[in-house]
Amino acid sequence: MEDLVIIGAGPAGLTAGLYAARARLKTVLLERLAPGGQVLSTDWVENYPGFPDGVSGFELVDRMKRQAEKFGIVIQSQEVSSLELTPDKKIVVTDKGNLETKALILACGAGYRKLGIEGEDFLTGKGVSYCGTCDGPFYRDLEVVAIGGGDTALEEALFLTRFASKVHLIHRRDELRAVKLLQDRVMAQEKINIIWDTIPTRIVGENGVDGIGLKNVKTGEESLLPVQGVFVFIGVIPNNQLAKGLLELDDRGFVVTNDYMETSLKGVFAAGDIRSKLLWQISTAVGEGATAAFAAEKYIEGF
Ligand code: NAP
């Protein structure tokens, strides 16, 4: 039996792994994709302490991964299909077999929210993208839209100006949600054109994007904006498939924990973007990963 299974190797899972390894817990860290989580699709991180000049998302998680591995954590590439959880027994069902564990940390993160409009699924990968850092370079000297008014939308819109000839930022209100510093940068960037009070209605194109249908929510006026790329940054949804029906979730589907990262089931902890909380940041994920591992260690001691 394992002491601890951690699901997800983003900043929360990697930090939990680091602390668990240093506590000499028999730990398995599972990741279905590349270690790093959503930070991998972040071009430049400016608000993680210790890097006054900023650091690339890739480098930051690579450093976290190497640090956890230095203390003995092995990241296993396995997809978890389900969990069998009771207060006494925890079974993690993966594509490579079952793992029984005393304690479990869910650090599965969050994924991109979709618009749910005509053309979106069909044109994903053919002009519709959820990651400017990944796909921006394909849009050199082309016109694109970035949808959303949060930190991600503004950061990514600014990144896209390195390639695109014009970035139309489409926001459904007349006020941005993002932190003021990013708002100032966006306002000062002449390649960005903000289209306020507007929602996208459909994405048109056959083999690629030709344009996007827009609707002004105040006037009701509809239009078609010719663009070659549509970048969607309208928030995240928790990767809660494993927790549904087993653990308490909030009304948006994030896993509810207490200050010790304990979920509604004893011995099961959650950390990082999957958690119900105030602030979704790398810095908060790291602290939660450390707390979850420490709380799991205390739980295992009394097992
Ligand atoms: P977010 O803060 O939830 O913002 C989502 C944006 O999309 C909002 O402006 C929202 O509009 C808009 N939106 C939501 N649903 C929509 C829909 N169906 N149609 C059109 N627009 C829609 O999401 P995020 O920007 O991805 O950020 C997620 C979390 O990560 C936040 O806590 C954020 O602070 C954090 N983050 C931090 C950094 C950083 O610190 N550098 C970078 C990236 C993300 P409304 O404003 O009208 O609701």
Tens of pLDDT along 46-84? 999 999 999 999 999 999 999 999 999 999 999 999 999
147 CA from centroid of ligand 1 (Å): 10
Q: Which of 280, 282, 284, 288 to mutate to test the pocket of ligand 1 (most atoms within 8 A of CB)?
A: 280
Q: Tell whether the model's pLDDT for residue 43 goes beyond 90.
A: no
Ligand 1 contact via 163 beta carbon (within 6 Å):
no
Percent of the chain with pLDDT strictly greater than 90: 93
Active-site residues: which are they? Answer: 131, 134-135
Beta strand 166-170 with 192-195 is: parallel
- The answer to whether residues 144 and 170 touch, using CB atoms and an 8 Å cutoff, is no
Q: Which of 177, 232, 278 to mutate to test the pocket of ligand 1 (most atoms within 8 A of CB)?
A: 177
64 CA from centroid of ligand 1 (Å): 25
**What average pLDDT does range 160-189 have in this prediction?**
98
Kindly provide the b/e burial profile for residues 83-114, where b requires at least 16 CB atoms within 10 angstroms of the residue's own CB: bebeeeebebebeeeebebbbbbbbbbbebee
Q: Which atom of ligand 1 is nearest to the CA of 115?
A: 18
The pLDDT of residue 303 is 82
Kindly provide the b/e burial profile for residues 125-154, where b requires at least 16 CB atoms within 10 angstroms of the residue's own CB: eebbbbbbbebbeebeebbbbbbbbbbbbb
Tens of pLDDT along 137-149? 999 999 999 999 9
143 CA from centroid of ligand 1 (Å): 22
Ligand 1 contact via 119 beta carbon (within 6 Å):
no
Instruction: State the burial class of residue 20 (Cβ atoms within 10 Å of its Cβ: 0-12, 13-18, 19+).
Output: buried
- Going by CA atoms, what residue is nearest to atom 36 of ligand 1? 151
- How does residue 288 score in pLDDT terms, banded at 50, 70 and 90? very high
Mean pLDDT, rounded, of the chain: 96
Q: Tell whether the model's pLDDT for residue 89 goes beyond 90.
A: no
- Going by CA atoms, what residue is nearest to atom 48 of ligand 1? 177
Q: What is the DSSP string of 223-271?
A: EEE--SEEEE---EEE--TTTTTTS-B-TTSPBP--TT-B-SSTTEEE-
Q: Which of 151, 201, 203, 230 to mutate to test the pocket of ligand 1 (most atoms within 8 A of CB)?
A: 151
175 CA from centroid of ligand 1 (Å): 13
Q: Which atom of ligand 1 is nearest to the CA of 177?
A: 46
- Residue 168 CA to residue 160 CA, distance in Å, equals 10
- How does residue 88 score in pLDDT terms, banded at 50, 70 and 90? confident
Tell me the longest C-alpha to C-alpha distance in the chain: 64
Ligand 1 contact via 48 beta carbon (within 6 Å):
no
Q: Which atom of ligand 1 is nearest to the CA of 113?
A: 15
Tens of pLDDT along 245-282? 999 999 999 999 999 999 999 999 999 999 999 999 99
- The answer to whether residues 110 and 239 touch, using CB atoms and an 8 Å cutoff, is yes
Q: Which atom of ligand 1 is nearest to the CA of 199?
A: 20
297 CA from centroid of ligand 1 (Å): 34
Tens of pLDDT along 198-244? 999 999 999 999 999 999 999 999 999 999 999 999 999 999 999 99
235 CA from centroid of ligand 1 (Å): 4
